[in-house]
């Protein structure tokens, strides 16, 4: 087996601020701080996993030590300092994992490197990942150095759980909140990588991978590598469905049509069919609930933008949204939510979900007998729909 293969998350790791996906509010602020020479000595990068916290820390360290930074305050990536930092062989960047080096002695060892000037370049940059894992004693030992470090020292702390960090540490840092990467941004980045790798990828397939990554770009790249390896050069929508073992959109579109037709027998037959494929009843129920939510946002042109799917799937949602009305969707989502809430306590879980499907199939009949109307005590802040008996 060749050892030359490099996973996409490493191969396509951004080397400049302009290459960072979905964090423009962070990168522009850092570049403006560099431009105005108002850069802090301690930063806290917080946000979900896989969104670029450590990457931005490394790029900042690189541009601070770059011999020929660009006019836009990007690293040149061609000087000796940039090349050594890109290869992780520079003594100007000291990275430490807070999860495995969380004791007082570990912090004291780190502090021991602070006072010595950098062997080359202008700054020593200390990056502590998962900093929330440090013990209280370690945090306290770090306080004085973090507040008044030497002029050549820059601290960048990264965490996914900001609430676990002591307030005394927070008060000494400039805090940057990273956000989850949008589905469209992830899909576009995957499209770029597909072209670079010579992989033919369907748009819907990339959108589905982006959705399943839940805002984490690194997770999407891991899924992309896994599925593209199985597809042998052609990444299709069906291949993503099969490899991730998820239900196709077709199941939910067809099930909704059957519910509108009150065809309960067909709904239960399809439910049995997907159960045999290994899907859990609650998984099917939650997927159906999400489908109703997506149909709901399609009811108004102003909320269609909340639909995070590919172009072809979006057209199908808009088409089906014309066949359902708002009361049906609200009732259906309420039934699904109630079933999900009580699912854990249900003894016969399959029967529990089948009962919910039966209610969904006959929502329209129930509305004819008990039409919806607003209660007399409804307020503009909170309106409730109840059954008129």
Domain with CATH 3.40.50.300 in the chain: 8-177
Instruction: Over range 263-281, report the average pLDDT.
Output: 90
> What DSSP line would sit under 53-67, residue for residue?
HHHHHHHHHHHHH-S
Q: pLDDT band for position 266 (50/70/90)?
A: very high
Contact 346, 280 (CB under 8 A): no
Domain with CATH 1.20.272.10 in the chain: 249-387
First to last CA, the chain: 72
Residues 6 or more apart whose Cβ sits within 8 Å of residue 294: 307, 309, 317
Per-residue pLDDT at 101: 81
The residue to which tokens 């069919």 are assigned: 273
Measured between alpha carbons, how far is residue 268 from residues 11, 193, 275, 284 in Å? 47, 42, 10, 12
Question: Which CATH number, 3.40.720.10, 1.50.10.20, 1.20.272.10, 2.40.50.150, labels domain 249-387?
Answer: 1.20.272.10
Q: pLDDT band for position 366 (50/70/90)?
A: low
Structure token pair of residue 313: 């799937």
Q: pLDDT band for position 81 (50/70/90)?
A: confident
Q: What is the C-alpha to C-alpha distance for residues 240 and 203, in angstroms, rounded to an integer?
A: 11
Instruction: Over range 162-178, report the average pLDDT.
Output: 90
Does the pLDDT at position 250 exceed 70? yes
Q: In the chain, what percentage of residues exceed pLDDT 90?
A: 28
Per-residue pLDDT at 367: 58
pLDDT digits (tens, 9 = 90+) for 96-135: 888 888 888 888 888 888 888 888 878 889 999 888 888 8
- Within 13 A of 152's CA, how many CA atoms are on the CB side? 15
Instruction: Over range 216-228, report the average pLDDT.
Output: 89
Phi, psi of 124, rounded to the nearest 5 degrees:
-100, 125
Per-residue pLDDT at 368: 53
Architecture of domain 8-177: 3-Layer(aba) Sandwich (3.40)
Instruction: Over range 350-372, report the average pLDDT.
Output: 78
Burial of 357 per CB tally in 10 Å (0-12, 13-18, 19+): buried
Domain with CATH 1.10.8.60 in the chain: 183-244
Q: What is the C-alpha to C-alpha distance for residues 340 and 346, in angstroms, rounded to an integer?
A: 10
Q: pLDDT band for position 178 (50/70/90)?
A: very high
Does the pLDDT at position 370 exceed 80? no
Does the pLDDT at position 29 exceed 50? yes
Residues 6 or more apart whose Cβ sits within 8 Å of residue 340: 282, 285, 286, 289
Per-residue pLDDT at 184: 87
Neighbours of 177 (CB within 10 A): 12
Does the pLDDT at position 377 exceed 80? no
Q: pLDDT band for position 234 (50/70/90)?
A: confident
Q: pLDDT band for position 389 (50/70/90)?
A: very low
Closest listed residue to residue 65, CA positions, set 51, 40, 85: 85
Q: What is the C-alpha to C-alpha distance for residues 42 and 205, in angstroms, rounded to an integer?
A: 41
Measured between alpha carbons, how far is residue 380 from residues 85, 113, 376, 384 in Å? 58, 61, 12, 10
Per-residue pLDDT at 245: 79
Q: What is the C-alpha to C-alpha distance for residues 324 and 338, in angstroms, rounded to an integer?
A: 21
> What DSSP line would sit under 10-46, residue for residue?
HHT--SSGGG-SS-HHHHHHHHHHHHHT---SEEEEE
Per-residue pLDDT at 146: 86
Architecture of domain 183-244: Orthogonal Bundle (1.10)
pLDDT digits (tens, 9 = 90+) for 336-357: 999 999 999 989 999 999 999 9
- Tell me which of 150-154, 155-159, 372-376 is least confident: 372-376
Does the pLDDT at position 335 exceed 50? yes
Q: In the chain, what percentage of residues exceed pLDDT 70?
A: 93
Does the pLDDT at position 78 exceed 80? yes
Closest listed residue to residue 156, CA positions, set 265, 255, 30: 30
Q: pLDDT band for position 56 (50/70/90)?
A: very high
């Amino acid at each position: 087996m060749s050892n030359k293969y490099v996973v996409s998350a490493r191969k396509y790791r951004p080397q400049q601020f302009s290459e960072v996906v979905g964090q423009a509010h962070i990168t522009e602020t850092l570049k403006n701080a560099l431009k105005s020479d108002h850069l802090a000595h301690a930063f806290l990068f917080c946000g979900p996993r896989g969104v670029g916290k450590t990457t931005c820390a490394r790029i900042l360290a690189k541009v601070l030590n770059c011999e020929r930074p660009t006019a836009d305050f990007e690293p040149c990536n061609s000087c000796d300092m940039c090349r050594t930092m890109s290869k992780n062989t520079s003594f100007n960047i000291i990275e430490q994992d807070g999860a495995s080096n969380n004791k007082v002695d570990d912090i004291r060892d780190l502090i021991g490197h602070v006072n010595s000037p950098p062997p080359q370049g202008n700054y020593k940059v200390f990056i502590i990942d998962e900093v929330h894992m440090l013990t209280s004693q370690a945090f306290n030992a770090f306080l004085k150095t973090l507040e008044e470090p030497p002029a050549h020292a820059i601290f960048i702390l990264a965490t996914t759980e900001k609430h676990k960090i002591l307030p005394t540490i927070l008060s000494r840092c400039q805090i940057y909140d990273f956000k989850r990467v949008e589905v469209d941004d992830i899909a576009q980045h995957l499209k770029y990588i597909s072209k670079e790798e010579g992989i033919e990828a369907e748009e819907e397939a990339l959108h589905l991978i982006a959705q399943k990554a839940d805002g984490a770009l690194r997770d999407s790249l891991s899924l992309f590598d896994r599925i593209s390896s199985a597809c042998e050069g052609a990444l299709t929508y069906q291949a993503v469905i099969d490899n991730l073992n998820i239900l196709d959109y077709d199941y939910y579109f067809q099930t909704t049509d059957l519910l509108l037709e009150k065809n309960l027998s067909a709904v239960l037959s399809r439910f049995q069919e997907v159960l045999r494929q290994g899907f859990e009843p609650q998984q099917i129920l939650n997927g159906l609930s999400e489908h109703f939510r997506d149909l709901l946002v399609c009811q108004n042109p102003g909320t269609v933008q909340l639909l995070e799917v590919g172009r072809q799937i979006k057209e199908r949602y808009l088409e089906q949204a014309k066949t359902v009305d708002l009361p049906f969707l609200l009732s259906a989502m309420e039934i699904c939510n109630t079933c999900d809430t009580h699912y854990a306590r249900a003894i016969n879980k399959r029967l529990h979900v089948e009962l919910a499907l039966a209610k969904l199939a006959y929502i329209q009949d129930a509305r004819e007998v008990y039409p919806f109307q607003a209660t007399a005590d409804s307020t503009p802040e909170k309106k409730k729909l109840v059954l008129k008996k």
